[in-house]
Amino acid sequence: MPMSPWSPRAIDRHASGANRPVHRGGGARTAMLSAWVTAGTALGMLAAFVDTDLDTAGLALGVVITVVIVGVALLAARFGGSWAWAPAWLVAGTAGTAAGAGLAPAQLVQAGVSTSVVVGAVSLVSGLVLLGLGLAALLRALDGWWRLLALPVAFVVLQLGVLPLTMAVIGTHPVREPFTTPIPEGAERVTFAAADGVPLVGWYTPSRSRAAVVLLHGAGASKSDTREHATVLAQGGYGVLALDARGGGESGGRGMLWGWHGPTDVAAAVDWLAARPELDPARIGVVGESMGGEQAITAAAADPRIRAIVAEGASARVAGDEAYLPLDVPGLIRRAYDPIMFGAADLMTGASAPAPLTELVTRLGNRHLLLISSDDPADKAAGPRIRDAAPDTVELWEPADTGHTQALARHREEWIRRVLAFLGEEL
């Protein structure tokens, strides 16, 4: 009978390359265990690519990446020793752990048990086991003081592997919050489609001035979270289209926590407003909070029909937005972390990564942006940089003692005065 390539005897024949002899039974059992858990990580990696809005080419690339990572890990287990096992298992373990950690915990808490949660849990456990096997193989391959290298290797795997990849999975697989908020008095529920066919839903409050704004919420939220802003803007006479971002609230499609679909969705909202007979299509603006503020800037840079932009809490959603970070240890780690996180996110979404905010504001021409900051460290760092990129067209308001997107709650009268005056001037 032919010998199975995964039998202990076959693996023992090929398990070579370590600095010290591998115990016949122990090495074989380790390699066999690695093969099983590698298969578990493959499930999570495939789920991270399949459960997205990727097109055929993007999905095919994800499958190829998974096959390569898993294939190398299996070949290392079949033919290699500790020097081959360590890197192959650490890479596969990192990918599996990140996929599982990104898919399972948040979705379990918010949506309960599902196929995605089960697959994520299998991938998470398998990835952690594979990481342990990889570190153990590294220790076996090193002698004496060289074993201390395992500590920085573990740190790098965590900081520049597991953590950024996990955040990339979370950011591209957000859980849709249950929608229960009733329609505000005076508003109507409206629906329309984005250019790619995704159905979008919003609440529209009619205008009393022929001017209107698209109102955009932050990450992990919905139009319900902008009710107070909508009320204030409507009281100022503006038509208000409070929009659910795709994948959030009642809108369809697959969302992402950095809002890279913003230009497509906001353009559809502007189309809808411009077609309203009671509105002047030359008097349309956008108001956004956090992710919505970043979407507002991005959409306006691409769409000259948007005549005024108010962005509160806009800070960073691509690596280029954090180029200001200092060259100290934390800054260097983050500079390495961000390209990995956003690069991985780019592989798991059908949206295109936008340009940095500092570049986008230079594309606004003679249109103006009111940028509202806060005491949040990210906001405080981003605000002056965005203003300085286009000082003639960007106005920065930095309210004191204010949390992220809390300017209206903390400084209501000043927020109303500043924002309505700005919109009145621009629209």
CATH assignment at residue 417: 3.40.50.1820
In this structure, the answer to whether residues 125 and 197 fall within a common structural domain is no
322 within some domain: no
- Condensed to tens digits (0 to 9), the pLDDT of residues 233-272 reads 999 999 999 999 999 899 999 889 999 999 999 999 999 9
From first CA to last CA, the distance across the chain in angstroms is: 82
Q: pLDDT at residue 77 above 90?
A: no
In this structure, the answer to whether residues 26 and 147 fall within a common structural domain is yes
C-alpha span between 70 and 5 (Å, rounded): 16
168 within some domain: yes
328 within some domain: no
Which residues, other chains included, contact 15 with Cβ-Cβ below 8 Å and sequence gap of 6+?
Answer: 22, 27, 28, 31, 80, 81
For 112-224, where are the alpha helices, taking DSSP H only? Answer: 115-141, 150-157, 163-172
330 within some domain: no
Question: What angle (nearest 5°) sits at the alpha carbon of residue 252, between those of residues 248 and 258?
Answer: 45
Instruction: Find out whether 382 and 354 touch, Cβ atoms under 8 Å.
Output: no
How many domains does the chain contain in total?
2
> Domain of 233?
188-317+354-426
Confidence band of 78 (pLDDT split at 50, 70, 90):
confident
In this structure, the answer to whether residues 286 and 385 fall within a common structural domain is yes
| pLDDT reported for residue 19 | 40
In this structure, the answer to whether residues 311 and 239 fall within a common structural domain is yes
| pLDDT reported for residue 27 | 60
| pLDDT reported for residue 323 | 72
Q: What are phi and psi of 299, to 5 degrees?
A: -65, -40
Which residues, other chains included, contact 188 with Cβ-Cβ below 8 Å and sequence gap of 6+?
Answer: 203, 204
- Condensed to tens digits (0 to 9), the pLDDT of residues 202-239 reads 999 999 999 999 999 999 899 999 999 999 999 999 99
For strands 394-397 and 212-216, give the pairing: unpaired
Nearest alpha carbon to residue 227 among 209, 199, 205, 253:
205
210 within some domain: yes
In this structure, the answer to whether residues 107 and 247 fall within a common structural domain is no
In this structure, the answer to whether residues 168 and 226 fall within a common structural domain is no
Which of the listed residues 172, 197, 218 is the one where a domain comes to its end?
A: 172
Instruction: Find out whether 204 and 241 touch, Cβ atoms under 8 Å.
Output: yes
Which of the listed residues 172, 201, 221 is the one where a domain comes to its end?
A: 172
- Full strand arrangement of the beta sheet holding 239-243: 188-193, 199-205, 239-243, 212-216, 284-289, 306-312, 368-372, 394-397
Instruction: Find out whether 406 and 313 touch, Cβ atoms under 8 Å.
Output: no
In this structure, the answer to whether residues 14 and 55 fall within a common structural domain is yes
Tokens read off for 192: 């329309």
Specify the DSSP class assigned to residue 174: P
What is the rounded average pLDDT for all residues in the chain? 87
| pLDDT reported for residue 326 | 66
C-alpha span between 134 and 126 (Å, rounded): 12
C-alpha span between 407 and 400 (Å, rounded): 9
Instruction: Find out whether 123 and 47 touch, Cβ atoms under 8 Å.
Output: yes
Per DSSP (E only), the strands in 247-367 are 284-289, 306-312
| pLDDT reported for residue 139 | 84
Helix, strand, or coil (residue 24): helix
C-alpha span between 2 and 180 (Å, rounded): 62
| pLDDT reported for residue 5 | 41
In this structure, the answer to whether residues 419 and 284 fall within a common structural domain is yes
C-alpha span between 83 and 264 (Å, rounded): 48
68 within some domain: yes
In this structure, the answer to whether residues 163 and 199 fall within a common structural domain is no
326 within some domain: no
- Condensed to tens digits (0 to 9), the pLDDT of residues 25-44 reads 446 677 778 888 888 899 99
- Condensed to tens digits (0 to 9), the pLDDT of residues 279-327 reads 999 999 999 999 999 999 999 999 999 999 999 999 988 888 877 666 6
183 within some domain: no
> What is the percent of the chain with per-residue pLDDT over 70, rounded to a whole number?
91
**Average pLDDT of span 187-214:** 96
R_g (Cα) of the chain, nearest Å: 25
Q: pLDDT at residue 13 above 70?
A: no
Q: How many helices (H) and strands (E) does the chain have?
A: 15, 8
C-alpha span between 403 and 45 (Å, rounded): 37
C-alpha span between 265 and 259 (Å, rounded): 10
In this structure, the answer to whether residues 24 and 119 fall within a common structural domain is yes
In this structure, the answer to whether residues 99 and 51 fall within a common structural domain is yes
Instruction: Find out whether 375 and 400 touch, Cβ atoms under 8 Å.
Output: yes
In this structure, the answer to whether residues 192 and 167 fall within a common structural domain is no
**Average pLDDT of span 352-380:** 95
Confidence band of 14 (pLDDT split at 50, 70, 90):
very low
Q: With left for phi above 0 and alpha for psi between -120 and 50, is residue 112 left, alpha or beta?
A: left
Q: pLDDT at residue 15 above 70?
A: no
| pLDDT reported for residue 7 | 43
